[in-house]
Amino acid sequence: MGVERSRGEARRLTETAYMAASTGLLWVAIYYLPIGDALFRLAIPLPLALLQLRQGGRTAVEGVAVSVLLLTVLMGPVRGPLMLFPYGCLSLWLGWCWRRQLSWWWSLPFGILLGSVGFLVRVALVSLLLGENLWVVVTGAAAGMIDGLADKLQLPLVADINQVQLAALALVVFQNVIYLLALHAVAWWVFPRLRQAMPEPPPLLRPLLALESS
């Protein structure tokens, strides 16, 4: 009995170290590799979510903490902890939902909210550290989207600041809708091949996730 417990503990520690290191490498790759940024961002929450599926929530929290400490050492006290917003939080939430085989209608909405809030927190922190308002970049993209849409539809539309701010928030939320759907699709395709069960997608979303048939 003691031997089995020791083996289980050794396996837990090994998986925690491995998944935390994998998450750290993906985060570092975003900054230092010129290609694959979208792919790396899509993969960041998956190792720690898989850790929670296999070892439970407490181990997953330990994995997030180890990842943050590792990244803080490698990248400094600014870039390292930013992994938490939203990727560390997302990994804990998605792992919690998937471990309990909850419907995607549970994991998706709050995941989208977490992703959106995490993005805003990251923008606020980086703006504070740089002394420059990075939200202007997002609102500029939203203003350009509104102007482009007005030109295509030939509408005499001049957006005010409130409309631009709402459009910027809508852009952030829409981006996270796409991101969370893609994240669920990748996990649904990959995790069963690692002998880890995943909740099935709702019938309404199956046409969008035709991975098995492609």
The residue among 174, 162, 64, 164 whose CA lies nearest residue 116 is 174
pLDDT score of 36 = 62
Better pLDDT: 122 or 149 = 122
- Write out the two tokens for 119: 């993005």
What band does 214 get if pLDDT is binned at 50, 70 and 90? Answer: very low
Spatial separation of the C-alpha atoms in residues 153 and 138, rounded to whole Å = 23
Spatial separation of the C-alpha atoms in residues 196 and 163, rounded to whole Å = 45
**How many angstroms from the chain centroid is the CA of residue 169?**
17
The residue among 77, 42, 48 whose CA lies nearest residue 61 is 48
Q: What angle do CA 123, 129, 130 make, to 5 degrees?
A: 85
The residue among 93, 76, 99 whose CA lies nearest residue 27 is 76
Interval 154-211: pLDDT, tens: 666 666 777 778 888 988 999 999 999 999 999 999 999 988 989 988 888 887 766 4
pLDDT score of 202 = 87
pTM (2 decimals)? 0.88
Q: Beta-carbon neighbour count of residue 80 at 10 Å?
A: 20
The residue among 160, 121, 159, 165 whose CA lies nearest residue 139 is 165
Q: For the ranges 20-29, 46-55, 126-135, which has the lowest average pLDDT?
A: 126-135
Better pLDDT: 143 or 185 = 185
Question: 45-55 and 87-99 helices cross at what angle (nearest 10)?
Answer: 40
The residue among 83, 108, 11, 80 whose CA lies nearest residue 51 is 11
The residue among 78, 75, 53 whose CA lies nearest residue 63 is 53
Kindly tell me if the per-residue pLDDT of 213 is higher than 90: no
Interval 35-89: pLDDT, tens: 667 778 889 999 999 999 999 999 999 999 999 999 999 888 888 888 998 999 9
Kindly tell me if the per-residue pLDDT of 126 is higher than 90: no
